[in-house]
Amino acid sequence: MATFPFPFPQTTYRYSTNVEPGRAAVSTPAGQWGEAVVDIDSEYHHELAERARILAVDPSRYAVLPHMHVAAWDAALDLMRELALTHPDQCDLTLLERGARPTYRWRNDLLGIDHTFVLGDTDTLPPEHPEPLGWIAAQVQEDIVLLDQRDGVLYGDAGVVTFAADWSFGFDVGMTFLEIHGPVPRLHAEGVITRAHEFLKRLEPGEVYRRTNWTLTVGRRLDVSTELYPEWGPDREWVQTLDDEDFGRLVHLRVEVQHLIRLPESGAVMFLIRTYLLPLADLAGVEHWRLRTAEVLRELPDDMAEYKGIAKYRHRTADWLLAH
């Protein structure tokens, strides 16, 4: 509750770039969020175990195209630095040897890791994680997408995405940024996606920006990817049959905090997606959140509600919040 990134600054919601500088704390009626680019909370071990389980079942959630290996190392090192910066008591990155083959010692006490590696040399990584992007993805709760910029166009050419919200990284890998967002209503007609593409291309190395996105999810299911639609798609039907107590317990506001970072060595854009879930029963405990969420859901245009997959139960969600 204290660190939940409530996503509605206004009473209405429309797609927009809604980008702001990262690392800035945001106060809420329940606490604050936003100081860390890489957030660690009480779900840390559970979510990492869930990521490992998903990757074991479906390896297509991980992909690094051949030309992205430098970017993968760049991302891994950047994320280690972020962890060491924001969690210095538990994580530390030490440069042991400079030169053409920089050698680092990485410590993550949360996972019992104390490992020395040579930057760019996969043979020096742990045998259970022989590639840099896979190794760091096993240590952060964020999904990771790396965008390569070629001839003025961004391509989603690498990543580890196990907690997708109704999309498929395995299907999208190698597509352009504009193609990946093709199905989203209004984005192209209103020029939002073009402006976002131009903004990302202008990012300078080391700059960190963020935005939020949201939907509703039934249950605490992080993986609602299109690959598993037969498992979670029917939830949209039967959730309407629940009594009020179960409805408030099972329907969650799902919020993504997305960080956008230009990596210094490769020039790739790192897109981090951290997912937070809060059940209506808890959301209703904060008066401002309860009323604002109901307002947004009631006013949301039908095509946007349909795309988010909440059209069938968004009005009941709004009514539930107003009544509880």
Counting Cβ atoms within 10 Å, is residue 78 exposed (0-12), middle (13-18) or buried (19+)? buried
Catalytic residue numbers?
211
Determine the straight-line distance between the first and last CA of the chain, rounded to whole angstroms: 17
The label of the residue with tokens 């309407």 reads 240
Largest CA distance in the chain: 64
The beta-carbon contacts of 149-156 under 8 Å, at least 24 apart in sequence, are: 149/201, 149/267, 149/268, 149/269, 152/201, 153/177, 154/197, 154/200, 154/201, 154/269, 156/180
Do residues 291 and 166 touch, judged by C-beta distance below 8 A? Answer: no
> Alpha-carbon distance 228 to 294, whole Å?
29
Do residues 157 and 174 touch, judged by C-beta distance below 8 A? Answer: yes
Of 213, 211, 204, nearest in space to 261 by CA? 204
